[in-house]
Structure 1
């Protein structure tokens, strides 16, 4: 007998849907990928993840800690420092983040070409519509 609840990500009230919304975030994926290599302090993460604000980093770290993906350890140093590391669950999920990273790096040129083609087509269509309207 299986007592596991059934989760349906397509149902608006399903907890897995909120989880998916949180995890499909660029900053979450960057944090997980960065922590795959080694534990980091807050400032170390901020330096390695270019463009993330301290407020956003703090918020995303809290989400990851709440979901059980990272551990937050207060170190007995002067000044006190906090170190973040992946939990076993976080390490397992970070493989997904790594797959996204590798795919993006390998396929970005194709995406950029498709975007350029689409934008050119849109421009031509808009120009034709304007000429026909005049």
Structure 2
């Protein structure tokens, strides 16, 4: 079956929505090198609330991008890790991250040149 992201009914839009979700990029980047516990992820991703982190992790697990492992220890703990599918996102997201970091000055300059009337 051929998928067309431009079609309103194409299921590929669900995938793009997940990838484009605000915190998905940060979670994928945070988990690039090793599995992490919830508190470590929250500390690594500055600005994310525990509620949003929990919701995003749950959605990413449902989408097959991360796995959640519960360790039966005292006290019990949970680790999150990228799946093979989640790891496949690292290359394109790395390119987007690099582009964003390289072009900060141009984007900020463009924003600074906008007047309130231009933004409407």
Find the counterpart in structure 2 of residue 107 from structure 1: 103
Q: How many residues align?
A: 119
Provide the rounded CA distance (Å) in 2 between the counterparts of 1:41 and 1:51: 17
Provide the rounded CA distance (Å) in 1 between the counterparts of 2:118 and 2:8: 34
**Runs ≥4 in structure 1, deviation > 6 angstroms?**
none
Structure 2 gap segments, 5+ residues each: none
Find the counterpart in structure 1 of residue 42 from structure 2: 46
Q: What pairs up with 1:15-54 in 2 under 5 angstroms?
A: 15-54=11-50
Structure number with the higher helix fraction is 1
Q: Which deviates more from structure 2 when the two are superposed, residues 43-52 or residues 17-26?
A: 17-26
Across the aligned residues of Structure 1 and Structure 2, the Cα RMSD in angstroms comes to 1.7
Structure 1 gap segments, 5+ residues each: 124-134
Find the counterpart in structure 1 of residue 58 from structure 2: 62
- Measure how far apart 1:122 and its partner are: 3.3
Provide the rounded CA distance (Å) in 1 between the counterparts of 2:109 and 2:14: 32
Provide the rounded CA distance (Å) in 1 between the counterparts of 2:96 and 2:71: 32
Larger radius of gyration: 1
- Measure how far apart 1:32 and its partner are: 0.2
Provide the rounded CA distance (Å) in 2 between the counterparts of 1:17 and 1:64: 15
Provide the rounded CA distance (Å) in 2 between the counterparts of 1:90 and 1:122: 39
Provide the rounded CA distance (Å) in 1 between the counterparts of 2:53 and 2:41: 8
Q: Structure 1 residues 120, 56: closer, same or farther in 2, change over 3 A?
A: closer
